[in-house]
Chain A
């Protein structure tokens, strides 16, 4: 099993551009999450999903959108990129929500200039 796979690993955007961070998991987990991590800080939840077709906002959803059309995929869309969105983004999945173990991808480092 590959676990949680994120692409791209690195990306530089110009202010106002848009992009999608891809996340896929092969563990048949219902729960999926997107976090961002700023330097020296803990993770902040952007959006999460409890199953295909169901998504909800986390702590810091502004400027982002998500969709969950399949169990495996949970893409994160950045519209009109801003310097404040420069961060490392982590996708995670779990079988039992945050009650159990979260499995994380390797991260996507995004820089907005």
Chain B
């Protein structure tokens, strides 16, 4: 089972910052948080990942709480093309290091 909990859906106005929360209260100290998104049943697209520190790239920012039990993905200026399902994933620390995917958050950007 997925180790993360996300809201089923969210709305955001175009041009505003979209903040997507994720709870991962059972995360272990050496497990990373990954974010992917999937636009209209296309193949998922990598966004960002982090361990403890906040991370930023050209697509988004990832804010991880100090206790690491939750995180927030921030899309700073959402556009209509950001409408997608966003997946928060904890990389399970086992011998295979595989990703366990949940159902994600459906983010709808409104004009």
A-contacting residues, B29-47, CB 8 Å:
32, 36, 41-46
The interface size bin for chain A is 20 to 34
Pair count A-B, CB < 8 A: 51
B-contacting residues, A65-112, CB 8 Å:
88, 90, 92, 97-99, 101-107
B43/A107 in contact, CB under 8 A: yes
Contact of A104 among B45, B91, B102, B103 (CB under 8 A): B45
Contact partners of B10 in chain A: CB under 8 A: none
B98/A98 in contact, CB under 8 A: yes
Q: Give the A-binding residues of B (Cβ under 8 A).
A: 2, 32, 36, 41-46, 87, 91, 96-104
What does DSSP make chain B's interface, helix, strand, loop or mixed? loop
A43 to B104, alpha carbons, bound, how many Å? 10
Smallest beta-carbon distance B84→chain A, Å: 13
5 closest Cβ pairs, A-B complex? A104-B43, A42-B101, A101-B46, A43-B101, A42-B102
Contact partners of A61 in chain B: CB under 8 A: none
Residue of A42, A45, A101, A106 with most chain B CB atoms under a 10 A cut-off: A42
The chain B residue with its CB closest to the CB of A6 is B43
The chain B residue with its CB closest to the CB of A3 is B43
Contact of B98 among A42, A58, A104 (CB under 8 A): A58
Q: Give the B-binding residues of A (Cβ under 8 A).
A: 4, 35, 40-45, 48, 56, 58-59, 88, 90, 92, 97-99, 101-107
The chain A residue with its CB closest to the CB of B85 is A42
B101/A104 in contact, CB under 8 A: no
B44/A104 in contact, CB under 8 A: yes
A98 to B36, alpha carbons, bound, how many Å? 12
